[in-house]
Structure 1
Amino acid sequence: MDKKITIAIDGFSSTGKSTLAKQLARQLGYVYVDTGAMYRAVTLYAMRNGFITEGAFDREGLIESLDNITLRFVYNPELELAEMFLNGENVEKQIRTLEVSKLVSYVAEVHEVRVKLVEQQKHMGDHKGVVMDGRDIGTVVFPDAELKIFMNSAPEVRAQRRFKELTGLGQVVTYDDVYKNVVERDHVDTHRKDSPLVKADDAIEMDNSNISKQEQLDKVLVLAKALIDG
């Protein structure tokens, strides 16, 4: 029987981490965990409750309310993936807006938020056979993961992908706003004091600026299967 491993995928925003992680999970029959969705759900909660806007952030208010936040992934058989539920509500669509994207990195900076979510994420990987993507999976959540991938691509490429994704969802956005958001998130993610975005020493870096999703998947599958069969 093939052994199960843990796969950690980190990288910059809009590099396709979630897409790759979902594809890998399907191919390997593993559980997929979208940690970004967890931080986005907390951000949505903060927005709805007036703790954060583009001009202000009541960090203490959010910290004091963390016990009121329940996050759960619920598998949708039609989509063949798990959707994010915030306090019993399916918020999968609401957390993918540019408004949430503009604020999520600031919420993710909060130490107490990270402690709450990292603890949950660690438990999700107790039995291995999991693919998890985010910003600190290979460095903080699963430092002993057998396979670590660090994804990167040019900000212009990432902004174009994100712009296409958002407009495809019917959202009214401009490329310039999306590009600005990508650059700002890069800065916040790499400069925060608590678990900044860095490449783990033993991670394999993949720049997907000029390769297709299929080529990328094929490369990582080879790496994963070598570890599983080895």
Structure 2
Amino acid sequence: MNAPYSPRINIAIDGPAGAGKSTVARKVASALRYIYIDTGAMYRAVTLKVLESGLSTEDNEGVGRLADGLDIVLLPGAESQRVLVNGEDVTSRIRTLDINRNVSYVARLADVRSRMAELQRRMALEKGVVMDGRDIGTHVLPDAELKVFLTATPRERAKRRFLELDPNEGITLEQLEKEITERDRLDQERNIAPLLQAHDALLLDSTGKTVDEVAEEIVQWGLAAVRTISAGEK
């Protein structure tokens, strides 16, 4: 006997830096047996190559051409998603403080966002995708069946990023909180696809909550969305 038909949906998780989007999205995708797409890692990969090339983060055309020539592949890994650029594994190299400080400047370039959005939409065509970023629900996948805006206080987000950094980076928690607040400003004020909560996104504040608690809440929202679609198709 065949299993009953269950439609697959796309889930968009947006929010500011350090809100826990990647960790939560990966857990949600695993629970639903969906594909997880870390769009932030894609922008970090471009930023890495921009810094290595010596291009200015203000050079829209130059960086856009560089982005067009990059083959970015996301692969599942034991602990986190592996990121390959032109066949090279750059997973660990895109999580440094230098990348943190420059990624917002690269991500706001129109040609870069256009290229990345094109790739991301292509990845989501078959449905069954959990995608996180800053403009997924508003720009990349505006028709996603479930949209979540995940946030936390700047202090909470700074603590999370602080624990991810190499102690040899020599940055204090206070410095990191200041940088995260500045990154919020840059993301919210950029002209192309700024960080916004979609009008139909569900707000979820992760401050004081465990990753599992947040992921389970989104999973339940996702299952509810599937049930609603299934009922409408009968």
Give the TM-score normalised by the residue count of structure 2: 0.90
Distance 2:67 2:80 in 1: 26
Contact 1:39 1:108 in 2 (8 A): yes
1:13 Cα deviation after fit: 0.5
Distance 1:203 1:7 in 2: 10
Alignment of 1:74-153 (within 5 A): 74-76=75-77, 79=78, 82-153=81-152
Contact 1:101 1:181 in 2 (8 A): no
Match of 1:14 in 2: 18
Contact 1:51 1:59 in 2 (8 A): no
Distance 2:38 2:169 in 1: 22
Q: How many residues align structurally? A: 224
Distance 1:65 1:118 in 2: 15
Distance 1:176 1:81 in 2: 27
Structure 2 gap ranges (5+): 229-234
1:74 Cα deviation after fit: 2.6
Structure 1 residues 175 and 6: CA distance shift in structure 2, 3 A: same
Contact 1:167 1:173 in 2 (8 A): no
The correspondence for 1:218, drawn from 216, 219, 225, is: 216
1:80 Cα deviation after fit: 6.4
Partner SS, residue 12 of structure 1: coil
Match of 1:204 in 2: 202
Contact 2:42 2:116 in 1 (8 A): yes
1:75 Cα deviation after fit: 3.1
CA deviation profile, 1:94-114 (whole Å, cap 9, x unmatched): 001111010000001100000
1:81 Cα deviation after fit: 5.0
Match of 1:33 in 2: 37
Match of 1:3 in 2: 7
Contact 1:9 1:17 in 2 (8 A): yes
Contact 2:28 2:215 in 1 (8 A): yes
Contact 2:28 2:216 in 1 (8 A): no
1:181 Cα deviation after fit: 1.8
CA deviation profile, 1:113-161 (whole Å, cap 9, x unmatched): 0000000000100010000000000011110111000011110111011
Extract structure 1 runs of 4+ deviating beyond 6 A: none
- Residue identity matched to 1:66: A
Match of 2:231 in 1: none
Contact 1:9 1:149 in 2 (8 A): yes
Partner SS, residue 81 of structure 2: strand
- Residue identity matched to 1:226: A
Contact 2:60 2:111 in 1 (8 A): no
Structure 1 residues 57 and 121: CA distance shift in structure 2, 3 A: same
Question: Which moves more between the two structures, 37-46 or 217-226?
Answer: 217-226
**1:182 and 2:183 equivalent?**
no
Structure 1 gap ranges (5+): none
1:174 Cα deviation after fit: 2.1
Distance 1:14 1:136 in 2: 15
1:65 Cα deviation after fit: 2.6
Match of 1:61 in 2: 62
Identity of paired residues, percent? 42
